[in-house]
């Protein structure tokens, strides 16, 4: 492989994996920033789907009604993550699509003062977001593109302390915010 150039989709996939690993580092760090986790997973999913489309020779750029590319700074405008999800997962009830859409909405709406509470409330869904990413990468590109050999397993508490339960109970406002981000829909 030395001296040979990778196909463009491989560079895109590599960048996607780099962002997924950065997101997981943020999540696993005791001082990690939830907003950074959201941002990096957003980019990871975006680059992953662009890599799939590029490999499969699917043009993932917006066009106007005449079929000409819409341009941004002289370059064809690529599909945003929400549009990519609709193309990759055409079933609007697909649980992977709903999970990623939830985090797109959270990324777009998160307010810094709710960051800690959102992390508590969405922990399981964040885990699903990462697991869905890993599954999509492996089924689309093969097991050699798994992140498993590059991850470390964090040590964590198996149950909440009394203080942690009190914080979780106080998250009703956050639950409402999450529902609003999802447009009132269940799931995801």
User: What is the pTM (predicted TM-score) of this model?
Assistant: 0.73
Q: Is residue 56 part of a domain?
A: yes
Name the domain count of the chain. 1
Q: Is residue 3 part of a domain?
A: no
Q: Is residue 1 part of a domain?
A: no
CA distance 179 to 109: 11
Q: Is residue 117 part of a domain?
A: yes
For 124-141, how does the pLDDT look when each residue is reduced to its tens digit (9 = 90+)? Answer: 888 889 999 999 999 999
State the Cα angle at 10 between 145 and 90, rounded to 5°.
80
Cα separation values, 166 from 149, 163, 173, Å = 37, 5, 14
The average pLDDT across 74-80 equals 96
Q: Is residue 187 part of a domain?
A: no
| Whether pLDDT at 175 is above 90 | no
3-state DSSP call for residue 184? Answer: coil
* Domain housing 138: 8-181
- Among 108-122, 131-145, 157-171, name the most confident range: 131-145
Say if CB 70 and CB 34 are below 8 A apart: no
């Amino acid at each position: 492989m030395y001296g040979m150039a990778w196909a463009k989709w491989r560079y895109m996939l590599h960048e996607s994996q780099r962002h997924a690993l950065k997101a997981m580092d943020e999540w696993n760090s005791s001082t990690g920033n939830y907003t950074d986790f959201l941002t990096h997973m957003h980019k990871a999913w975006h680059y992953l789907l662009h890599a799939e489309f590029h490999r499969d020779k699917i043009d993932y750029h917006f066009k106007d009604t005449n079929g000409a590319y819409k341009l941004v700074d002289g370059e064809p405008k690529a599909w945003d993550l929400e549009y990519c999800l609709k193309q990759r997962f055409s079933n609007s009830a697909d649980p992977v699509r709903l999970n990623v859409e939830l985090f797109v909405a959270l990324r777009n709406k998160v307010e810094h003062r709710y960051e800690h509470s959102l992390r508590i409330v969405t922990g399981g869904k964040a885990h699903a977001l990462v697991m869905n990413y890993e599954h999509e990468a492996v089924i689309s590109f093969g097991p050699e593109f798994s992140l498993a050999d590059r991850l470390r397993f964090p040590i964590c508490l198996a149950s909440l302390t009394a203080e942690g339960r009190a914080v979780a109970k106080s998250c009703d406002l956050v639950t409402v915010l999450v529902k609003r981000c999802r447009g009132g829909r269940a799931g995801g």
